[in-house]
Structure 1
């Protein structure tokens, strides 16, 4: 399909006719031959002399070529384009960050797998997250790992294969032995600052109480709520445990409630999978529709034809003048 990017330019098409009708003809004084006995000549011819101007005749062919060239140039200024069929695609209007606890307590081997195998907590979490990421095509995700310190393992990206590879290389203790929940939330907020989508979701997985944050987890959650960040917390481990191995479910629930999110407890692989299945129900993914048309400019074609016509007119006029001189 061919379209004009600036169709209003076509209003210039009748401009030569308006100039021809409204603008007076150009006048120029020319030398004349003075004849003796002029009155006798005109009397013999039977005409009466009068002052006037002679309008030079124009070749109809040259006039037609000039009008055609003008039309072609106006069409070129209107920017004709070949437009392809619309190309549609969808992207997610939601950005999602996974914050995974890799403190020393995640080394406990008490995570029940679906095949009756007991896994290390982090290994079980990795297995479930891998399946979750496989269903996130079209979404932007980021990965934050935290222990004593919180680190961005992967910024917001649609390259989920790379994110999967980075998660697979994550090991317990890489970020220190303690748990800094507040720092992980604060780091996630800074990552969302680079996002311009309206739906921002942080999934926080932890198996221990906050023991090393520079910022209180509740204060961090309040800031997240002000930035329209929703937090879903997932407790991994035994709430009845002792020391750092005990999950502080009260804090995790308070974090989720502050941001309008939900808190879950996952003690085995099956429960964790059910949690991830419910995430889309609790925070449905918003889809943004996009369309694109490829446009190829065709303005060079009418300009090229106009140039060829001008060259042909010049050649025809030169040949005509040459013949007149010879005759």
Structure 2
């Protein structure tokens, strides 16, 4: 389908006709050819000398070419655009923040990888987050790392590859050895407040043993619930451990209940995968659809048509002119030969 940006310019289409009717005939002064036998030429032709003008008679082909050329110029000025088929873009209406605990307790090696090797809690979290993030191409992911204090490692972004690189660079203890769990929730609330989406999800991977927060985790969860943020807590590690390495399941359960989320335990890598599958089921993806039609300017096409017509007309006129010259030359040669025969 073709649409014009400035369709009102088509009002200029009859302009050549108006000029032909209303404008005066073009006049040009030229010097005459003087001949010594002018009077004799007048007697022979029978014409009476007088002042006047000669109106050049153009051929129909020239008139047709001029009209088509003007129409092409008007079409080009109206700026035609080729409108393509509707394209629908789907944008996720959900912001999903992931908070990862980097405290010293995450160094506890109580997970096994696919090869059966014993790995620490953070490495297990990274492995599953890689698989989880690759399946979230329609969501915007954010990343918070927390230890003694929380830090926004990655704001909400649809660039999953960059998000994964930032996660890969994180390491145990880079944010401190303590666990500021409640402060991490507070930072997530602040980040969500600067976004426009209504569907807000916070996934926290931690042992739940808060040792350094200024705001208790449960109090922070109550504030998050007021801001319509659901928190899914994932207990990483062995609940039978002692000291700071022990997983505080009671706190994680309470946080999930306050915000309307859910609490999970992940004692191994396979269980951790199941946790993310359950989160996918609990929070189905929601989309905002936008439809638009791509537009491609086509103003150069009528100009190309005009150029082709000009070259074609120029070629035809020159061929006709050359043909007439040859014909006249042959006729003159014939007349000369006839005159010689008479003499």
Q: CA deviation at 1:242?
A: 2.8
Query: Cα distance 1:69–1:221, how it changes in 2: closer, same or farther (>3 A)?
Result: farther
User: What is the alpha-carbon root mean square deviation over aligned residues?
Assistant: 3.9
Counterpart for residue 4 of structure 1: 3
What SS does the corresponding residue of 1:202 show, helix, strand or coil?
Answer: strand
Matching of residues 1-327 of structure 1 within 5 Å: 2-4=1-3, 9=8, 79-299=79-299
What SS does the corresponding residue of 2:225 show, helix, strand or coil?
Answer: helix
Q: Whole-Å Cα distance in 2 between the matches of residues 130 and 144 of structure 1?
A: 15
Q: CA deviation at 1:296?
A: 2.3
Q: Whole-Å Cα distance in 1 between the matches of residues 223 and 170 of structure 2?
A: 28
What SS does the corresponding residue of 2:189 show, helix, strand or coil?
Answer: helix
What SS does the corresponding residue of 2:109 show, helix, strand or coil?
Answer: coil
Counterpart for residue 41 of structure 2: none
1:183-222 deviation per Cα after TM superposition (whole angstroms, max 9, x unaligned): 1112122222343223221110111321211222223223
Q: Whole-Å Cα distance in 2 between the matches of residues 3 and 183 of structure 1?
A: 57
Q: CA deviation at 1:9?
A: 4.2
Q: Whole-Å Cα distance in 2 between the matches of residues 113 and 299 of structure 1?
A: 62
Q: Is the 8 A contact 2:208 2:251 kept in 1?
A: no
What SS does the corresponding residue of 1:142 show, helix, strand or coil?
Answer: strand
What SS does the corresponding residue of 1:141 show, helix, strand or coil?
Answer: strand
Q: Is the 8 A contact 1:256 1:263 kept in 2?
A: yes
Q: Is the 8 A contact 2:72 2:303 kept in 1?
A: yes
Q: Is the 8 A contact 2:144 2:150 kept in 1?
A: yes
Q: Whole-Å Cα distance in 1 between the matches of residues 199 and 74 of structure 2?
A: 48
Query: Cα distance 1:15–1:151, how it changes in 2: closer, same or farther (>3 A)?
Result: same
Query: Cα distance 1:305–1:118, how it changes in 2: closer, same or farther (>3 A)?
Result: closer
Q: Is the 8 A contact 2:207 2:235 kept in 1?
A: yes
Query: Cα distance 1:225–1:3, how it changes in 2: closer, same or farther (>3 A)?
Result: farther
1:247-301 deviation per Cα after TM superposition (whole angstroms, max 9, x unaligned): 2222212222222111111111111111011111011111333444331234566
Q: Is the 8 A contact 1:252 1:263 kept in 2?
A: yes
Q: Is the 8 A contact 2:139 2:158 kept in 1?
A: yes
Provide structure 2 residue ranges, at least 5 long, that are not aligned to the other structure.
16-21, 23-59, 307-343
Q: CA deviation at 1:173?
A: 0.9
Counterpart for residue 26 of structure 2: none
Deviates more, 1:122-131 or 1:223-232: 223-232
Q: CA deviation at 1:135?
A: 1.5
Provide structure 1 residue ranges, at least 5 long, that are not aligned to the other structure.
17-24, 26-60, 307-327
What SS does the corresponding residue of 2:167 show, helix, strand or coil?
Answer: helix
TM-score by length of 1: 0.69
Q: Whole-Å Cα distance in 1 between the matches of residues 247 and 12 of structure 2?
A: 79
Query: Cα distance 1:77–1:257, how it changes in 2: closer, same or farther (>3 A)?
Result: farther
Q: Whole-Å Cα distance in 2 between the matches of residues 96 and 210 of structure 1?
A: 23
Q: Is the 8 A contact 2:105 2:244 kept in 1?
A: yes
Q: Whole-Å Cα distance in 2 between the matches of residues 182 and 15 of structure 1?
A: 76
TM-score by length of 2: 0.66
Q: Whole-Å Cα distance in 1 between the matches of residues 116 and 67 of structure 2?
A: 87
Q: CA deviation at 1:105?
A: 0.5
Counterpart for residue 36 of structure 1: none
How many residues of Structure 1 are paired with residues of Structure 2 in the alignment?
283
Q: Whole-Å Cα distance in 2 between the matches of residues 9 and 251 of structure 1?
A: 70
Query: Cα distance 1:226–1:303, how it changes in 2: closer, same or farther (>3 A)?
Result: farther
Counterpart for residue 338 of structure 2: none
